[in-house]
Amino acid sequence: MLQIDSVSKLYKGGDKALDNISFSVEQGEFISVIGKSGAGKTTLFRMLNGMIKPTTGSIIINNQDLAKLKGKKKRDIQKTIGTIYQDFCLVDTLTCFDNVLNGALAERNAFQALFGIFSKEQKEYAEKQLEAVGLSEKMYSYAGKLSGGQKQRVAIARALMSKPDIILADEPVASLDPYSAEQITDILVQLNKQYNMTVIMNSHSVELALKKSDRIIGIADGKLVLDKKSPEVTNEDIRFVYGGAYEKYE
Ligand SMILES: Nc1ncnc2c1ncn2[C@@H]1O[C@H](COP(=O)(O)OP(=O)(O)O)[C@@H](O)[C@H]1O
Ligand SMILES: [Mg+2]
């Protein structure tokens, strides 16, 4: 469903953030991307959701080259990808419900967008998504009042509004305590199992990555240095990805 083909990214100023990366992803896989800070993980994710273009190489989603698409065709592909972030990116002064509804913004016509009108179906669907992440009772609480774990649940519910095939999660649990981190990861696992949604997440918790995902992709200095099924990943592999700097994993 997703093919990353010889992708490199050279930022203005000369930093080569990604260097000839290739891998493909099947629908329904749960992949963790690991690597040191600055390895190029966020760059990869921003390319996968079409926010930036590769300098060379291509990203093929459902047989379409993302970098070559424009306008509605690009937005249609982008709708199939839901992204969540470390810092949640919610509007703190809106309720959880309104934050989730905002995930349907792309679906509205110009008239609806102008007057902030959502359809009954969209409202019902937003309620359902909050229920799915276990946050019904906080529906009308302001997002700013929630704990980190609760905020990330809202962000997941918002991402689900466009009925994505892929969830991209860029360090979704980096701001959370270990208990909430596992809970959030478990919600992603559940979406993966229940709806066969593809999940690509990146996490500094190697333990969590190995425990929850099917496959581990390691990036070091912009290069793909590891691509294995989780049970086959060794201590040596992990140390290699982290350039010998990783001690914790036993
Ligand atoms: N917008 C940007 N402009 C220039 N260089 C960037 C930009 N974003 C990231 N980089 C550089 O690209 C490399 C990879 O960064 P990033 O993808 O954020 O890594 P990670 O998410 O693994 O920490 C780093 O060297 C970083 O400094
Ligand atoms: Mg990053």
Task: Answer whether 235 contacts ligand 1 (Cβ < 6 A).
Answer: no
Least confident segment among 132-141, 180-189, 239-248 = 239-248
Residue 246 has pLDDT above 60, yes or no: no
Closest CA to 218 of 243, 193, 190, 192: 243
Q: Which CA distances in Å does 204 have to 172, 173, 182, 209? A: 10, 9, 13, 8
Could you report how far apart the first and last alpha carbons of the chain are, in Å? 34
Rounded percentage of the chain residues whose pLDDT exceeds 90:
84
pLDDT, residue 158, reads: 96
Ligand 2 centre from 97 Cα, in Å?
28
% of the chain with per-residue pLDDT over 70: 93
Q: How does pLDDT run across 34-55, given as a tens digit for each residue?
A: 999 999 999 999 999 999 999 9
CA–CA dist 90, 149 (Å, integer): 13
| CA–CA distances in Å: residue 236 to residues 39, 102, 128, 201, 247 | 18, 44, 44, 22, 11
The three-point CA angle 121-125-126 to 5° equals 120
Residue whose Cα lies nearest atom 5 of ligand 1: it is 11
Q: Summarize pLDDT for 71-113 with one digit per residue, the tens.
A: 889 999 999 999 999 999 999 999 999 999 999 876 666 666 6
pLDDT at 24: 97
- Residue 4 buriedness (CB in 10 A; 0-12 / 13-18 / 19+): buried
Q: How far is ligand 1, taken at its centre, from the CA of residue 41, in Å?
A: 8
Q: What's phi and psi for 84, nearest 5 deg?
A: -125, 155
Is the pLDDT at 249 greater than 50, yes or no?
no
Residue pair 6/20 in contact by the 8 Å Cβ criterion: yes
Task: Tell me, in angstroms, the distance from the centre of ligand 2 to residue 24's CA.
Answer: 21
pLDDT tens-digit readout, 178-207: 999 999 999 999 999 999 999 999 988 999
Task: Give burial (CB, 10 Å; 0-12/13-18/19+) of 127.
Answer: middle
pLDDT digits (tens, 9 = 90+) for 14-24: 889 999 999 99
Does the pLDDT at position 248 exceed 60? no
Answer yes or no: is the C-beta of 42 below 6 A from any ligand 1 atom: yes
Contact call for residues 172 and 201 (beta carbons, < 8 A):
yes
Beta strands in 12-147 (DSSP E): 16-25, 30-34, 56-61, 64-65, 81-85
Q: How far is the CA of 20 from the centre of ligand 1 (A)?
A: 16
Q: Using a CB cutoff of 5 Å, list residues around ligand 2, an ion.
A: 41-42
**Which ligand 1 atom sits nearest the alpha carbon of residue 37?**
23
What span, in angstroms and rounded, lies between the C-alpha atoms of 17 and 8? 7
Ligand 1 centroid from CA 52, angstroms: 12
Q: Compute, in angstroms, the gap from residue 35 CA to the centroid of ligand 2.
A: 9
Closest CA to 118 of 99, 90, 131: 99
For ligand 1, say whether the CB of 38 is within 6 Å of any of its atoms. Answer: yes
Q: Please name the residue whose Cα sits nearest to atom 8 of ligand 1.
A: 43
Atom number, ligand 1, closest to the C-alpha of residue 9: 12
